[in-house]
Structure 1
Amino acid sequence: GLPLILRQTDRGENFVLYEDNSTVTFTCDRNLSVLNQCEHWFMDGIFSICPKSYYQLFTVHGMYSLQIVPLVYDLLIGKDTNDYDIFFQQLLLKYDYEPESILVDFESATLKLTKSYFPDAIQIGCLFHFGQCLWREVPSLGLKNKYTDDGNFRMNVKKLMALAFVPVADVIKAYSFLISDFDNEDNPLFNYFERVWVGQKKGRGSRRSKPKFSLQLWNIYKRVIHDLPRSNNAVEGWHHAFNNFVSIKHPSITKLAKCILREQSRFEVDIERLRAGEPPKKKKKIYANLDARLKRIALT
């Protein structure tokens, strides 16, 4: 097991919420109190820096005073419903959390469990992952060369992704308008897009079957106009930096716990700074301008 020094924060708080053969959850009462104050949550998994007996390090971040901070770190042996189940049960012992939104990837177990444990929260699929799903489908349907050579087709694929920025009520109308621009040979891409994202047409009317992922899950129009993050990029950025800090693949659990504790110390300072009323770290100008431009376009 972990030595006592790796089970406590710098402030002497217990830092292991729960552990058994399938999971170890690192967090403390202070973090959970902050999480309870956060209206917007972000969840994602990181894989390469897990000890060999685990599958992923699943992290929960909260938006605190406009800054996204890591608050819970959970080592899991898998990614099925049972693995996440234990984690969420332990997390909910402390507070009756009421997040307004939870941003996740399109992993079915995560979606199912977050919906089950936080039924009133708005689930949002990460825009970046939505785009990745779409890009991956192009080569797998044999359309890679066409995407490279045909500028019109390339633009139309990007327009499919841009449907995420259209108000939910207008998505189907915009999609119907968009497909009239494609060639018949692109049908496999529509079949995929309809099956997974917008639903397939039923008969001659406007009715559609239920898609794999609801429009509300992948649509980010409201996030754009309310100045909320569209993707897990802040979390992915943290993962990248944390990966570099750990610096080796599949470290021992002792090494990983040391690295997590170092992150905890760093973010405790950030949280105290924000609590004292200091402004959050400024976005880079290029991203702030992009956000403003997207919002302007969405509102026109």
Structure 2
Amino acid sequence: MLDGLAFLRIDDVIKGLEFLKSVIPDEGTDLVKYFETTYVNGCPKILGKNKRIIVKNVPAPFPPSVWNVHLTTLNDNNRTNNQTEGWDHRFSKLFNQTHPFIWHLIEKMRLEVVVDSTHLLQRELGQPPPKKLKILTAEYHNGDRTINNFLHAISNVIIHLK
């Protein structure tokens, strides 16, 4: 569900994080704390020497404004700045190793050609691409889903995309 935070409105990311903290198993607590300090709220830092101590809040290095894709998803924009990143990610998931044998590579490339050809034929026949992420994000945006319900639903979709 942690990756579902990227699809919430920026104003609701903290509420979503609080929900995750309430349902996350104990084993996931450290991960959520790391995510919060690195990607959401930052962390307090103690400065000073001797008797003079100052506590300063250090902002998150990668705040939600950098990684949030709520509006990007609703507007059908690319969620990355690299057009080939999605294909590269999907193609690399086909292999369970970093340096496959050439015959294994050729087999997977043939499979990829078949999948891409199928998608092209579907588009030519007028079938739109699946928009599960957009539909769920729009339902949440329109108030048809609560943050809790949205995070559960989108995490199920994201799992099946991988």
Q: What TM-score does the superposition give when structure 1 sets the normalisation length? A: 0.27
Output the TM-score relative to the length of structure 2: 0.47
If asked which structure has higher relative contact order (CA below 8 Å, sep 6+), I would say 2
